[in-house]
Amino acid sequence: MRDILPPDSARWRTLHNIFADVVEAAGYAELKTPIIEDVGVFTRIGDATEIVTKELYEFEDRGGRRVSLRPEVTASVCRAFAQHRPTPPWKVWYAGSNFRQEKAQRGRYRQFDQVGIEVLGVDDADLDVEVIALGWEFYRRLGLSRVKLIVNSLGEPDDRARYVEALRVHFESIGDALTEQSRATLAKNPLRVLDSKREPDFPHIASAPKIADFYSDAARAHFDRVEAGLEVLGIPFEVEPKLVRGLDYYRRTIFEYQGLTLDSAQNALGGGGRYDGLVEALGGPSTPGTGFALGIDRTLLACDDEGVFASLPRQLDAFVVDTTGGAEALALTAELRAAGLAVDRAFDGRSMKAQMKLANRSGAKVAVIVGTNEVDAGTVVVKPMSGVHGESTDQVTVPRSDLIPHVKEQS
């Protein structure tokens, strides 16, 4: 887990704002769910999912309840839907931290942030297209261009079950030629063997049955419509039959946005898909669902790699320097802030020199300086700080009553 220090922290908020802007313009409203839930909410994600079997921050609280920090938000959204029964379609977005006990490395952390959307109650393939397009638009708004969209369909639950069985038979017939880790995966979830990043597994994965051969007519038609919709919107994508995603709840459409500048083991910037049985598994009515979550940590790494979406903390308009002992700074700072300006000041009765140093370091556009002479004359001195307005550092004395318009003019 990491600290996100200023100025980098400012990017996180800006990024959340951009995301909110993109999805609220498409009818999504923010949902806030708890960070801790009954562990049962997350075990419904599936017992073949490592996030659940190995990575949960699960503990007993003081009331003897088995709870867990959330490893993701989709299950919580479905739990909230089952609990509150809002009228579908329910279009929500969220932003916040998630927790998984993973081996931390660049792009993989034990506390990480996601922004995401979920829609409950819509079966239409055009909604899958809308969801995928919104993630794509978000990356575009950040200025990212080295992002690749891959899509696949896992078919209807029956198709998926028949495919999983065919994969099991195929991989079992290979025996020891499959790596030991993949044999362990096979026992739990044959689909995930397709995800293997181990070279000796590659030929056996290449010769494995293909999901497309198992689609029912309905699943084929749904996926065709998703592909056609992405083409209509001009969003470039690749169908990747080996894409399975790490969570068990997916049915039909799944997709991932890959950051081409990132290491392949951590290159998923975000992903999502349909999870039509999840609300039901959490005690609600049978309800189709679709959505995505985008990893903020990795998205920012990709921005750094591409040199886009730089960190821009808010610049101060003024820094108040008071050599009378501090009372003037108190009133002046309050007055300037009330006028909507971003203003800081020095404390602890520091010397003029020390205060000017702070003013410089603050990055403020001007220093507003007040001493006993200015108090007596009813004026203040406004000194542009070097580097902001070219080389000019000429200070001017202005009547105190003109201060606000004067600083506004400079900012």
Which positions lie near ligand HAM, rule CB under 6 A? 72, 74, 100, 102, 108-109, 112, 114, 116, 118, 246-247, 268-273, 275, 291-293, 295, 297-298
Identity of the residue numbered 59: F
Q: Which is nearer to ligand HAM, 108 or 225 (CB)?
A: 108
DSSP label at residue 226: H
Output 260 or 398, the one with its CB closest to ligand HAM.
260
User: Shortest distance, CB of residue 153 to ligand HAM, whole angstroms?
Assistant: 14
Instruction: Kindly tell me which of 42 and 171 has the beta carbon lying closer to ligand HAM.
Output: 42
Question: What does DSSP assign to residue 42?
Answer: H
Strands 366-370 and 318-322 come out as parallel
Closer to ligand HAM by CB, 253 or 333: give it.
Answer: 253
Distance in Å, CB of 182 to ligand HAM, minimum: 20
- Give least dist CB 290 to ligand HAM, A: 7
* Diameter over CA atoms, the chain: 94
Enumerate the H helices of 25-149 as residue ranges: 39-43, 50-53, 74-84, 125-142
83 CB neighbour count, 10 Å cutoff: 11
Helix (H) or strand (E) holding 309: none
Least distance between ligand HAM and beta carbon 63 (Å): 28
CA-to-CA separations, 279 to 91, 177, 287, in angstroms, rounded? 14, 40, 6
**DSSP type of residue 401:** G
Q: How far is the CB of 365 from ligand HAM (least distance, A)?
A: 37
**Does residue 23 contact residue 293 with C-beta atoms inside 8 Å?**
no
For residue 161, what are the CA distances in angstroms to 155, 251, 280, 331? Answer: 9, 11, 18, 71
Length of the chain counted residue by residue = 411
Least distance in Å: CB of 157 to ligand HAM?
16
Q: Please, what is the minimum distance in Å from the beta carbon of residue 51 to ligand HAM?
A: 7
Question: Nearest Cα to 73, choosing from 46, 99, 48, 91?
Answer: 99
Position of minimal CB gap to ligand HAM = 295
Our CB check for ligand HAM shows the closer of 138 and 275 to be 275
Q: Which amino acid is it at 84? A: H
State the nearest-atom distance from the C-beta of 193 to ligand HAM, in Å. 18
Amino acid (1-letter code) at residue 142: L
Pairing assessment for the beta strands 289-295 and 90-99 based on DSSP bridges: unpaired
d(CA 95, CA 266): 20
Nearer to ligand HAM, 116 or 277 (CB): 116
Select 139 or 171, whichever has its Cβ closest to ligand HAM.
Answer: 139
Q: Which is nearer to ligand HAM, 139 or 163 (CB)?
A: 139
Q: Are 58 and 67 in contact (CB under 8 A)?
A: yes
User: Pick from 300, 249, 297, 298: which is nearest to 76 by CA?
Assistant: 249
When the beta carbons of 82 and 385 are compared against ligand HAM, the nearer one is 82
Residue 234 CB, shortest distance to ligand HAM, in Å, is 24
Q: Rounded to whole angstroms, how far apart are CA atoms 292 and 24?
A: 15
Nearer to ligand HAM, 55 or 335 (CB): 55
Q: Return the H-helix or E-strand segment holding 241.
A: none
- CB 120, min distance to ligand HAM, A: 11
Cβ(87)–Cβ(57) below 8 Å: no
CA-to-CA distance for 117 and 74, rounded, in angstroms? 9
For ligand HAM, give the closer residue by CB, 279 or 366. 279
Residue 354 near residue 380 (C-beta atoms within 8 A): no
Nearest distance, CB of residue 128 and ligand HAM, angstroms:
11
